[in-house]
């Protein structure tokens, strides 16, 4: 009886501590700055500015398909490839590497230059891929605007705002959003991508109507979570896409969410992180047996290669929610996944 009472009391204490820790997490871009400049992230995802986003041509087109398109001016291209520029900008800021920032801005700018007159991109899957790109670009530029490098790159930041605003307005048009969301329906992580893209752009551009629209997408995402904590992906679950959704939700929690949104996102994030942590094996690999989209039974990427687990998203998602919630067990899992990923690449 005493042991049970102690366990109940201790459990309540831990839960209360986690709640208060989450309530103390900084709001606005300050929370995302805290994460991106944290010791773990500086030693992992943000450790090497010189190696960030190198697969570009002189104009900034990123990846083989986009470089081919940039040269031939025909054929398929993918606006979401240009989101790699955001990684270079962010790591450049927190490692004080101007060359990385400049490289990242060149990549982002090439994407923005492809904007059509109505704000769309002529890329494959312009709704989904456009939101992926705009989320990354808005967040990176928001970091840059709030850094010591702001004055050096003020012109680039100002020019990007005009184009990002135009693209978000196009994406929010009912005739664009409705079929886009219908197509996204089987993939829960996309609700958090979409919410983060529109919400972070709203913060970056100071457009409250963007932020209000993003709340609808968060609410839709939260209601889809299964009782076991997994977020549905294509009539099942997928550890890699689940992690990407958690990462996007953590960014939204930090940068955009008000207290109401934080409460629902915290519940989703805690349950979702626990489910994902349970899929981390003792050696740091991540179980893909249940995956519907990545791994040996997964989909093909653009019809050419099998989609694999993105360990980068997994360890960042676990670490981010571990920091928000004050959950060291999640931080430990993140470190384990990073070590496995680093060893497998050697």
Q: Is residue 20 over pLDDT 90?
A: no
Give pLDDT tens digits for 153-163: 999 999 999 99
Q: Classify residue 186 by burial, with Cβ atoms within 10 Å: 0-12, 13-18, 19+.
A: middle
**Measured on CA atoms in the order 88, 89, 93, 97, is the torsion positive or negative?**
positive
Per-residue tokens: 260: 């109401």
Per-residue tokens: 70: 């940039």
Give pLDDT tens digits for 182-204: 999 999 999 999 999 999 999 99
**CA distance linking residue 242 with residue 309, whole number of Å:** 11
Q: Is residue 340 over pLDDT 70?
A: yes
Per cent of the chain over pLDDT 90 is 88
**CA distance linking residue 179 with residue 126, whole number of Å:** 12
Q: Is residue 6 over pLDDT 60?
A: no
Report residue 90's pLDDT band, with 50, 70 and 90 as the boundaries: very high
**Measured on CA atoms in the order 262, 168, 137, 275, is the torsion positive or negative?**
positive
Q: Among 7-16, 248-257, 286-295, 323-332, which stretch is predicted with the lowest mean pLDDT?
A: 7-16
Tokens 């456009």 sit at which residue?
Answer: 130
| DSSP letter for each residue of 305-345 | EE----HHHHHHHHHHHHHHHT-HHHHHHHHHHHHHHHHHT
Q: Is residue 298 over pLDDT 90?
A: no
pLDDT the model gives residue 18: 53
- Rounded to the nearest angstrom, the gap between the alpha carbon of residue 81 and the centroid of all alpha carbons in its chain is 14
28-273 CATH pick, 1.50.10.10, 3.30.9.10, 3.40.50.150, 3.40.50.970: 1.50.10.10
Q: What phi and psi, each to the nearest 5 degrees, are found at residue 325?
A: -90, -10
pLDDT the model gives residue 240: 97
Mean pLDDT confidence for 329-336: 98
Give pLDDT tens digits for 94-134: 999 999 999 999 999 999 999 999 999 999 999 999 999 99
**CA distance linking residue 153 with residue 243, whole number of Å:** 32
| DSSP letter for each residue of 101-124 | HHHHHHHHHHHHHTB-TTS-B-SS
Mean pLDDT confidence for 319-324: 98
Q: Is residue 142 over pLDDT 80?
A: yes
Q: Is residue 23 over pLDDT 90?
A: no
The answer to whether 181 and 198 are in contact (CB under 8 A) is no
β-bridge mates for residue 187, sequence order: 233
Helices (H) then strands (E): counts for the chain: 15, 2
Per-residue tokens: 21: 């820790």
Tokens 């307005």 sit at which residue?
Answer: 169
Q: Among 8-12, 194-198, 251-255, which stretch is predicted with the lowest mean pLDDT?
A: 8-12
Give pLDDT tens digits for 258-276: 999 999 999 999 999 999 9
| DSSP letter for each residue of 230-250 | ---BSSSB-HHHHHHHHHHHH
pLDDT the model gives residue 307: 85
Tokens 């009886």 sit at which residue?
Answer: 1
Per-residue tokens: 295: 């791994």
Per cent of the chain over pLDDT 70 is 92
Average model confidence (pLDDT) for the chain? 93
Report residue 17's pLDDT band, with 50, 70 and 90 as the boundaries: low
Instruction: Look at 10 and 233; give whichever has higher pLDDT.
Output: 233
Other CB atoms within a 10 A radius of the CB of residue 234 amount to: 15
Contacts (Cβ under 8 Å, ≥6 apart) of 3: none
Q: Is residue 305 over pLDDT 80?
A: no
The answer to whether 63 and 129 are in contact (CB under 8 A) is no
Other CB atoms within a 10 A radius of the CB of residue 278 amount to: 13
pTM, two decimals, is 0.92
Contacts (Cβ under 8 Å, ≥6 apart) of 113: none
pLDDT the model gives residue 47: 97
Q: Is residue 4 over pLDDT 90?
A: no
Q: What phi and psi, each to the nearest 5 degrees, are found at residue 26?
A: -60, 150
Mean pLDDT confidence for 285-294: 93
């Amino acid at each position: 009886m005493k042991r049970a009472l102690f366990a109940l009391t201790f459990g309540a204490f831990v839960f209360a501590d986690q709640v208060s820790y989450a309530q103390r997490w900084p709001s606005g871009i300050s929370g995302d700055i805290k994460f991106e400049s944290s010791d773990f992230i500086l030693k992992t995802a943000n450790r090497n500015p010189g190696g960030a986003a190198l697969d570009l041509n002189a104009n900034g087109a990123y990846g083989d398909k986009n470089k081919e398109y940039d040269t031939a001016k025909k054929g398929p291209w993918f606006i979401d490839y240009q989101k790699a520029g955001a990684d270079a900008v962010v790591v450049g800021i927190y490692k004080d590497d101007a060359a990385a920032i400049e490289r990242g801005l060149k990549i982002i700018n090439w994407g923005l230059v492809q904007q059509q007159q109505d704000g769309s991109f002529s890329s494959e899957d312009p709704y989904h891929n456009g939101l992926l790109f705009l989320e990354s670009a808005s967040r990176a530029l928001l970091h840059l605007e709030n850094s010591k490098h702001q004055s050096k790159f003020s012109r680039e930041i100002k020019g990007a705002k005009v184009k990002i605003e135009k693209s978000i307005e196009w994406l929010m048009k009912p005739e664009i959003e409705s079929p886009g969301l219908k197509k996204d329906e089987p993939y829960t992580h996309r609700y958090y991508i979409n919410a983060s893209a529109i919400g972070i752009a709203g913060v970056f551009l100071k457009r409250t109507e963007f932020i209000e629209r993003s709340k609808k997408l968060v609410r839709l995402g939260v209601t889809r979570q299964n009782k076991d904590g997994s977020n549905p992906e294509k009539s099942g679950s997928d550890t890699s896409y689940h992690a990407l959704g958690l990462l996007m939700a953590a960014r939204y929690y930090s940068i955009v969410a008000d207290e109401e949104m934080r409460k629902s996102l915290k519940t989703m994030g805690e349950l979702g992180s626990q489910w994902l942590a349970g899929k981390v094996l003792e050696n740091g690999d991540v179980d893909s047996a249940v995956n519907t989209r990545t791994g040996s039974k997964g989909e093909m990427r653009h019809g050419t290669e099998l989609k694999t687990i993105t360990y980068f998203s997994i360890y960042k998602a676990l670490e981010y929610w571990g920091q928000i919630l004050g959950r060291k067990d999640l931080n430990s899992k993140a470190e384990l996944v990073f070590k496995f990923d680093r060893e497998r690449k050697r």
